[in-house]
């Protein structure tokens, strides 16, 4: 086998050493050695006799190792000791989904053992434990077979659970010891938010009376956000605040002392500091002399002289400082880089450089002001933080007390209460003793995402594992196993600190004698090209510097992945960024601020991604399945973005749908964003108040009433209302049968308005309406919105049920609650159906896909830090950078550097989701212009682009590719594979009915040969948009009086914010030109109809063909039938022979059907070209020739 291997290794300096090896390999010794090392690492990590920690690269089999270790813990040991009791094992996972997956796989393994024959079971156990099959006795086999039943019979089941589930179980078992209410409730997020809102409001109201100055200070410092946002910031950093408060036993005076010492703040207040600095210490005589010298200088000097004049005129210290500070500081509060005077005044007045010099040495006053600024910042930081703590701590205490009163705990409480219980003197051993069989083995999954508080809890839980009697409890050495990967720590917003993982793994050897570490480097997931690229990008990324003179936060060292799939090729592509075109000068002011224009970089990229997916499926490009290649399917594609907001996420889903690709939709959605949920809430709104005309209009057009034809139903009902008349009264008075049926349904809403929300919705959805053939609400929703609407509506029903059970409820209260909350629906996209998946990188953690596309890569990580920062020995509230003192400045720099590190780790997670093919793309970021790249420094694209440059890539049609992509053979075409799993009859063509062939669109009369596929570019989009707009005007304007048409056209065209003024004017002129042309008057004569449906057969048509279409204009008079279609082509053809065959076939079909329907009248088919305008009659001979050709094709 000929193998080309490329390895690029570089240090943190960004340099790389290039080594390219091409060799003929007759064996796979290197691959075998790497595989053997990987198996040894897995076996070492799964060894049940010793504590261990494992660093696991993405795709290296971490879950398998956890399951193997649990299984080996349950088995009889090599020295004859019995295996561990199932209830002595605790496996802590990060999510419930991960826990369920582990339980399923473990029970599958144990279940297989229970039914295997002796020889097969020996082989399975030998492979698991690395022993010889002959060693296992019949007793060993019997015990292994019994494990399935033992695990099932364990009280409470095997303990594979999240840490919050574990804590809840402990606290329910020991409520009095933990100081919690027996039978406590676990709070939902929405309940916790509501409770905090109440506590916060009460604290602010109390401060109005008790601490008005402190309240005024935090309100002023929070600026537009207000005092409530400051309290939210305090709660958002609750863990840090609690640590600070606990160190000082919640004594506010001691906390203030520690805060002052941490900041180095003076005892004086900011006002006292300013009074001294801007009073006698201010060198007024020097300022006067300097002002005189500056007045003789340049215009800039004279402007600075005016600043000094204001200083001398100011009366209060605060006013003096406000005038004086700009002389030294920029608007951002930073010291100027240049002197506040030019050369001439400086020479004229020696006092200027002596006092005010900034560049090349500091003057006396400059040095004083620099010191003053820092002292002021410290004093202000102390004052505002002290004020926030004095007002905010009571709010936090009130929040805690109210939870206690209600007997409720939130997620943080579960951790804290359990930790306190286990850290109490002697309590950990008592708790472990009282638990069923104790806990002897703890396994921690995804350890990199464990927060410090959770680590403290685990430490307390395992404190006695490594010492004294606790080490050998029940003759079974207690063990701890930690597995994680700091490169995949991406949940800092939930408290995760990857640095703590390093501390804990290093300390495990000290606490657990014999503990060993293992490195799991081999990926069983990704192709070698993907792994080489990941290594190259990571190892050559520049270091992140916090910029504070200290060491930057540590991320994993240089990495190396080895590939199990060394003989299965893969590919990595990076696309160029399309240049940004200048925005239209006349961008409409009324455009919604969050709309994504079709011509925007994001929309264009989404279209490119969707077409690329369509192409790879249509071409039959391959991915690996096992050891064979097959054609790619939609479910093989996973598109990852950094966030759902911003427009790209929705644009991708819309573009995929436009390409006809099945797409799973968003992985998380706001419940009230679903149209079916909005329809249900509208029913409640209207049931409580029948004056809501807009709500009623939405109901009438919705699935429950189904009056979707505005011209027939809604417009006549709404437009003919008298002043003060409601739409409901018009509906009740209508004689239309469909409207009457809707009125009966709506009346039923009023009859149920007294019911609780759940009963109301259940009756609306489950009961059949009055009258023959009526449907249930569910049937109407499914018919209109499809089955995907069912899950959100069922989620709404669940919310209604919980709302009913919480307190006496009404329709009004439920609707108000739903409007106030952003209830999020999480959809499980872990298992790909037959759809393309679009989701965030965070949501894709733990997933994989043959093809991964990263289109959201060109922005740099946002330098974010919490407003309440944890400093060395306290917490500091600094809402803005310019308010930082030295302590908060350092804390902010570290927090921002950690955020950038996490952004880089998020890239690692994204890259390693790919099995076979990885595509990196991006939309233009920032302003267009010469020298601009379209991507920001430190962005993912910048790192990925630099990595690709270090590899031997090939130029392809769309960018650069490292690796290769194959295409499936004809027999493996995607058309067949994408329908895998269907019965045979579904893959066979249906027989043609010779009597009734089908309903055909007139444009398909000549079959595939008439199909026209134009390039799908911006120009085509503009042409289509122009054609649709002109057709709409020609449909509706003729019904209006001539003097109203121009205004109506303006009103209609103004709805499209993407149209420029020139485009609107041209479209309006084209439509009005047709209607005003005397030669075209016959088109709009009485008896004419717009958008007339034509359905029927004709002898001239192919046998069995039924035409089904709509014509733009149909005019029927006593002696003639005129069928016209408007065409907006530019330029228009001059004679019928030059008309596109598709157009002629369309008109010929209409002409033939109408001749059969009106045999006694002349039927004329014509095209009206708006370019001119002019009317072109199609000759009868040309029409018959096309029809003859169509019959010959059958």
DSSP conformational letter for 494: G
pLDDT in tens, 677-720: 999 999 999 999 888 889 999 999 999 998 887 778 888 888 88
Torsion of CA 62, 63, 67, 73, to 10 degrees: 40
Averaging pLDDT over each range in 241-255, 268-282, 579-593, which range is the top one?
268-282
Q: Judge whether residue 586 has pLDDT over 50.
A: no
Q: State the Cα–Cα distance between residues 897 and 545, nearest whole angstrom.
A: 7
292 CB burial (10 A radius; 0-12, 13-18, 19+): middle
User: Is the CB of residue 1128 less than 8 Å from the CB of residue 1030?
Assistant: yes
1014-1059 pLDDT per residue, tens: 334 456 667 778 888 888 888 888 878 888 888 888 888 887 777 8
pLDDT tens-digit series, residues 636-658: 999 999 988 888 988 998 899 88
What is the arithmetic mean of pLDDT over 128-139? 89
The DSSP letter of residue 424 is: S
Dist CA 718 CA 112 (whole Å): 68
Nearest residue to 258 (alpha-carbon basis) of 895, 870, 881, 865: 870
Structural domain contains residue 1098: yes
Q: Does the pLDDT of residue 27 top 50, yes or no?
A: no
Q: Is 183 exposed, middle or buried (0-12, 13-18, 19+ CB in 10 A)?
A: exposed
In the prediction, which pLDDT does 1165 show?
Answer: 94
SS3 state of residue 1092: strand
What are the helix (H) ranges across 734-776? 737-751, 757-766
Parallel/antiparallel/unpaired status of strands 954-956 and 959-963: antiparallel
Residues 202 and 249 in one domain: yes
Average pLDDT score over residue span 118-146: 91
Nearest to 226 by CA among 235, 238, 217: 217
Categorize the per-residue pLDDT at 1002 as very low, low, confident or very high, splitting at 50, 70 and 90. low
- pLDDT of 397 higher than 80: yes
Report whether pLDDT(771) > 50: yes
Same domain, 64 and 111: yes
User: Rounded to whole angstroms, how far apart are CA atoms 766 and 791?
Assistant: 15
Same domain, 843 and 940: yes
Where residue 998 falls among pLDDT bands split at 50, 70, 90? Answer: very low
Q: Following DSSP, what letter does each residue of 589-618 receive, concatenated?
A: TTS-TT---TTSHHHHHHHHHHHHHHHHHH
Q: Are 195 and 160 part of one and the same domain?
A: no
If one compares 814 and 29, the residue with the highest pLDDT of the two is 814
Give the residue with greater pLDDT, 644 vs 1150.
1150
967, β-bridge pairs: 621
986 in any annotated domain: no
The verdict on residue 16 lying in a domain is no
Give the pair of three-digit tokens for residue 723: 């002043």
Q: Do residue 383 and residue 460 come from a single domain?
A: no
Q: Is 1009 exposed, middle or buried (0-12, 13-18, 19+ CB in 10 A)?
A: exposed
Burial of 302 (0-12, 13-18, 19+ CB in 10 A): middle
- b/e code 541-559 from CB counts within 10 Å (16+ = b): beebebeeeeebbebbeeb
Same domain, yes or no: 1125 and 1046: yes
% the chain with pLDDT above 90: 40
Q: Is 452 in contact with 240 (CB distance < 8 Å)?
A: no
Residue 587 backbone class (left: φ over 0; alpha: ψ -120 to 50; beta: rest): beta
The mean pLDDT of 1000-1020, rounded to a whole number, is: 50
**Mean pLDDT confidence for 441-464:** 90
Is residue 11 scored above 80 in pLDDT?
no
Q: How many domains does the chain have?
A: 6
The pLDDT of residue 995:
39
Count the Cβ atoms, other than its own, within 10 Å of residue 869: 24
Q: Which residue has the tokens 């594992």?
A: 465
Diameter of the chain by CA atoms? 111
* Contact indicator for 106, 70 with CB cutoff of 8 Å: yes
- Residue 709's region, left for phi above 0, alpha for psi from -120 to 50, else beta, is beta
- 717 and 847 belong to one structural domain: no
Enumerate the β-bridge partners of residue 771: none
Of residues 823 and 777, more confidence is placed in: 777
Q: Residues 77-119: pLDDT tens digits? A: 777 788 888 888 999 998 888 888 899 999 999 999 999 999 9
**What pLDDT score does 585 carry?**
39
Q: What CATH number should be reported for the domain holding residue 686? A: 1.10.486.10
Do both 659 and 693 map to the same domain?
Answer: no
Helix (H, G, I), strand (E, B) or coil at 1041: coil
Number of Cβ within 10 Å of residue 823's Cβ equals 19
Q: Is the pLDDT of residue 983 over 60?
A: no
Report the pLDDT value the prediction gives residue 308, as an integer from 0 to 100: 94
Interatomic CA distance for residues 779 and 770, integer angstroms: 14
Tell me the two tokens of residue 313: 């005129």
Query: Predicted confidence band at 7 (pLDDT cuts at 50, 70, 90)?
Result: very low
Residues 1043 and 1161 grouped into a single domain? yes
260-306, pLDDT tens digit by residue? 999 999 999 999 999 999 999 999 999 999 999 999 999 999 999 99
Contacts of 977 (CB under 8 A, 6+ apart): 630, 631, 633, 968
What is the C-alpha separation between 970 and 414, in angstroms, rounded? 59
In angstroms and rounded to an integer, the radius of gyration of the C-alpha atoms of the chain is: 37
Domain CATH number, residue 870: 3.40.50.300
Close Cβ partners of 131 (under 8 Å, ≥ 6 residues apart): 78, 125
Whether 529 is in a domain gets the answer no
Q: Which of 826, 856, 877 finishes a domain?
A: 826
Q: Is 815 found in the same domain as 835?
A: no
Cis status, amide bond into 340, omega within 30 of 0? no
Model-wide pTM > 0.85:
no
Inter-residue contact 62 to 40 (CB < 8 Å): no
CA pair distance 345, 297, nearest whole angstrom: 6
Helix (H, G, I), strand (E, B) or coil at 574: strand
Most confident option among 5-19, 264-278, 723-737: 264-278
Domain that holds residue 174: 46-180+413-524
Chain Cα centroid distance, residue 982 = 33
The whole-chain average pLDDT of the chain stands at 84
In this prediction, residues 367-372 reach a mean pLDDT of 94
Please report how the helices 675-688 and 693-701 are oriented relative to each other, as an axis angle in degrees rounded to 10.
Answer: 130
12 within domain boundaries: no
Under 8 Å between Cβ of 1128 and 1148: no
pLDDT of residue 53: 92
Query: Exposure string (b/e) for 37-60, b if CB count within 10 Å is 16 or more?
Result: ebeebbbbbbbbeebbbbbbbbbb
Contacts of 34 by beta carbon, 8 Å cutoff, 6+ apart: 521, 522, 562
pLDDT digit string (tens) for 306-356?
999 999 999 999 999 999 999 999 988 889 999 999 989 888 899 999 999
Q: Are strands 637-641 and 849-854 parallel, antiparallel or unpaired?
A: parallel
Dig out the tokens for 1164 from the structure: 């004329």
DSSP, residue by residue, 345-371: HHHH-THHHHHH--TTS--HHHHHHHH
Pair (621, 767) in one structural domain:
no
Geometric angle at alpha carbon 824, from 822 and 830, rounded to 5°: 165
* Any domain includes 1002: yes
Residue 641 and residue 691 in one domain: no
User: With bands split at pLDDT 50, 70 and 90, how would you rate the model's confidence at 467?
Assistant: low
In this structure, what DSSP letter does residue 577 have? Answer: P
Q: Does position 358 have pLDDT exceeding 80, yes or no?
A: yes
pLDDT tens-digit readout, 1069-1080: 989 988 888 888
Within a domain: residue 754? yes
CATH of the domain at 1097: 3.90.320.10
Give pLDDT, residue 829.
65
DSSP 161-227: EEHHHHHHHHHHHSHHHHT--TT-EEPPHHHHHHHHHHHHHHHHHHHHHH-HHHHHHHHHHHGGGHH
- Could you tell me the pLDDT band of residue 923, with boundaries at 50, 70 and 90? very high
CA distance 651 to 1119: 52
Is 225 domain-assigned?
Answer: yes
């Amino acid at each position: 086998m000929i193998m080309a291997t490329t390895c690029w290794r570089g240090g943190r300096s960004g340099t790389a050493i290039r080594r390219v090896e091409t060799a003929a390999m007759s064996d796979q010794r290197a691959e075998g050695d790497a595989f053997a090392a990987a198996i040894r690492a897995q076996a070492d990590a799964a060894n049940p006799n010793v504590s261990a920690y494992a660093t696991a690269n993405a795709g290296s089999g971490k879950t398998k190792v956890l399951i193997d270790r649990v299984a080996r813990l349950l088995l009889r040991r090599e020295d004859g000791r019995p295996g561990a009791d199932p209830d002595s094992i605790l496996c802590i996972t990060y999510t419930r989904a991960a826990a369920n997956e582990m339980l399923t796989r473990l029970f599958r393994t144990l279940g297989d053992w229970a039914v295997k024959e002796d020889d097969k079971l020996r082989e399975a156990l030998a492979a698991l434990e690395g022993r010889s099959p002959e060693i296992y006795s019949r007793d060993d086999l019997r015990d292994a077979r019994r494990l399935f039943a033992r695990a099932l019979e364990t009280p409470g089941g095997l303990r594979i659970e999240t840490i919050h589930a574990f804590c809840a179980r402990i606290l329910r078992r020991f409520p009095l010891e933990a100081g919690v209410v027996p039978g406590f409730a676990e709070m939902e997020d929405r309940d916790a938010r509501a409770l905090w809102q109440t506590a916060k409001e009460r604290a602010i109201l109390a401060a109005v009376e008790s601490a008005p100055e402190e309240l005024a200070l935090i309100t002023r410092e929070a600026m537009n956000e207000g005092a409530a946002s400051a309290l939210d910031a305090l709660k958002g950093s609750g863990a840090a605040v609690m640590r600070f408060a606990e160190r000082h036993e919640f004594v506010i005076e001691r906390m203030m002392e520690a805060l002052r010492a941490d900041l180095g703040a003076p005892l004086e207040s900011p006002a006292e500091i300013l009074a001294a600095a801007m009073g006698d210490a201010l060198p007024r005589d020097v300022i006067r002399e300097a002002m005189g010298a500056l007045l003789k200088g340049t215009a800039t000097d004279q402007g600075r002289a005016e600043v000094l004049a204001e200083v001398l005129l100011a009366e209060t210290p605060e006013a003096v400082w406000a005038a004086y500070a700009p002389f030294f500081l920029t608007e951002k509060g930073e010291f100027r880089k240049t002197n506040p005077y030019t050369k001439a005044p400086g020479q004229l007045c020696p006092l200027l450089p002596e006092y005010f010099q900034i560049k090349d040495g500091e003057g006396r006053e400059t040095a004083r002001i620099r010191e003053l600024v820092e002292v002021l910042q410290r004093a202000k930081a102390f004052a505002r933080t002290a004020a926030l703590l004095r007002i905010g701590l009571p709010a936090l205490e009130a929040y805690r007390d109210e939870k206690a009163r209600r007997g409720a705990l939130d997620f943080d409480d579960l951790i804290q209460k359990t930790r306190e219980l286990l850290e109490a003197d002697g309590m950990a051993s008592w708790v472990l003793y009282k638990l069923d069989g104790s806990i002897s083995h703890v396994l921690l999954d995804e350890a990199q995402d464990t927060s410090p508080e959770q680590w403290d809890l685990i430490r307390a839980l395992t404190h006695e594992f490594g010492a004294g009697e606790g080490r050998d409890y029940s003759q079974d050495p207690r063990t701890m196993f930690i597995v994680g990967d700091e490169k995949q720590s991406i949940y800092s917003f939930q408290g995760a600190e990857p640095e703590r993982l390093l501390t804990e793994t290093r300390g495990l050897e000290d606490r657990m004698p014999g503990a060993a570490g293992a490195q799991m480097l081999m990926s069983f997931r990704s192709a070698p090209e993907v792994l080489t690229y990941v290594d190259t990008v990571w190892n050559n990324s520049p270091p992140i510097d916090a910029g504070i003179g200290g060491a930057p936060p540590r991320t994993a060292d240089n990495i190396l992945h080895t590939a199990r799939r060394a003989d299965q090729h893969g590919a990595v592509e990076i696309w160029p960024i399309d240049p940004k075109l200048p925005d239209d000068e006349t961008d409409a002011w009324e455009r919604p601020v969050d709309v994504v224009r079709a011509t925007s970089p994001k929309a264009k990229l989404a279209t490119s991604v969707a077409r690329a997916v369509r192409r790879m499926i249509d071409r039959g490009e391959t991915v690996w399945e096992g050891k064979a290649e097959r054609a790619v399917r939609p479910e093989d594609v996973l598109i990852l973005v950094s966030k759902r907001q911003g427009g790209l996420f929705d644009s991708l889903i819309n573009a995929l749908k436009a390409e006809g690709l099945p797409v799973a939709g968003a992985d998380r959605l706001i419940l009230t964003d679903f149209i079916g949920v909005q329809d249900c809430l509208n029913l409640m709104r209207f049931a409580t108040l029948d004056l809501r005309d807009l709500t009623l209009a939405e109901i009438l057009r919705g699935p429950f009433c189904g009056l979707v034809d505005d011209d027939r139903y809604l417009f006549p009902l709404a437009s003919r209302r008298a002043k003060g008349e409601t739409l409901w009264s018009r509906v009740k008075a209508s004689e239309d049968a469909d409207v009457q049926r809707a009125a009966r349904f709506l009346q039923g809403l009023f009859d149920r308005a007294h019911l609780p929300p759940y009963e109301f919705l259940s009756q609306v959805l489950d009961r059949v309406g009055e009258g023959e053939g009526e449907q249930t609400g569910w049937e109407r929703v499914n018919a209109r919105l499809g089955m995907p609407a069912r899950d959100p509506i069922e989620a709404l029903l669940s919310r209604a049920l919980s709302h009913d059970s919480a307190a006496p409820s009404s329709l009004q209260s439920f609707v108000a609650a739903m409007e106030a909350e952003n209830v999020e629906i999480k959809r499980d996209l872990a298992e790909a159906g037959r759809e393309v998946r679009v989701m965030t990188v965070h949501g894709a953690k733990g997933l994989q896909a043959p093809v991964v596309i990263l289109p959201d890569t060109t922005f740099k990580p946002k330098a974010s830090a919490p407003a309440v920062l944890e400093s060395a020995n306290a917490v500091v509230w600094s809402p803005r950078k310019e308010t930082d003192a030295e302590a908060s400045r350092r804390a902010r720099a570290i927090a921002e550097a950690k955020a950038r590190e996490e952004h880089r780790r998020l890239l690692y997670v994204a890259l390693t989701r790919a099995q076979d093919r990885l595509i990196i793309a991006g939309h233009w970021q920032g302003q267009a212009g010469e020298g601009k790249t379209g991507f920001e420094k430190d962005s993912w694209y910048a790192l990925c682009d630099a990595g690709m440059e270090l590899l031997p890539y090939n130029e392809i049609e769309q960018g650069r590719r490292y690796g290769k992509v194959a295409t499936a053979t004809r027999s493996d075409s995607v058309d067949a594979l994408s329908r895998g799993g269907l019965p045979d009859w579904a893959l066979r063509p249906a027989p043609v009915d010779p009597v009734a062939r089908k309903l055909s669109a007139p444009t398909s009369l000549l079959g595939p040969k008439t199909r026209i596929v134009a390039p799908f570019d911006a120009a085509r989009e503009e042409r289509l948009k122009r054609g649709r707009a002109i057709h709409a005007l020609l449909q509706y304007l003729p019904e209006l009086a001539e003097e109203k048409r121009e205004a109506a056209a303006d009103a209609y065209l103004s709805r499209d914010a993407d149209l420029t003024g020139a485009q609107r004017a041209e479209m309006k002129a084209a439509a009005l030109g047709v209607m005003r042309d005397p030669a075209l008057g016959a088109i709009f004569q009485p008896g004419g109809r717009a958008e007339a449906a034509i359905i029927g057969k004709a002898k001239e048509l192919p046998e069995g063909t039924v035409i089904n279409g709509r014509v733009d204009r149909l005019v029927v008079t006593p002696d003639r039938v005129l069928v016209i279609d408007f065409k907006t082509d530019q330029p228009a053809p001059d004679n019928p022979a030059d008309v596109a065959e598709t157009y002629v076939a369309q008109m010929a079909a209409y002409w033939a059907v109408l001749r059969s329907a009106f045999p006694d009248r002349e039927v004329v088919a014509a095209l009206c070209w708006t370019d001119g305008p002019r009317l072109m009659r199609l000759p009868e001979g040309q029409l018959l020739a096309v029809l003859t050709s169509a019959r010959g094709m059958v």
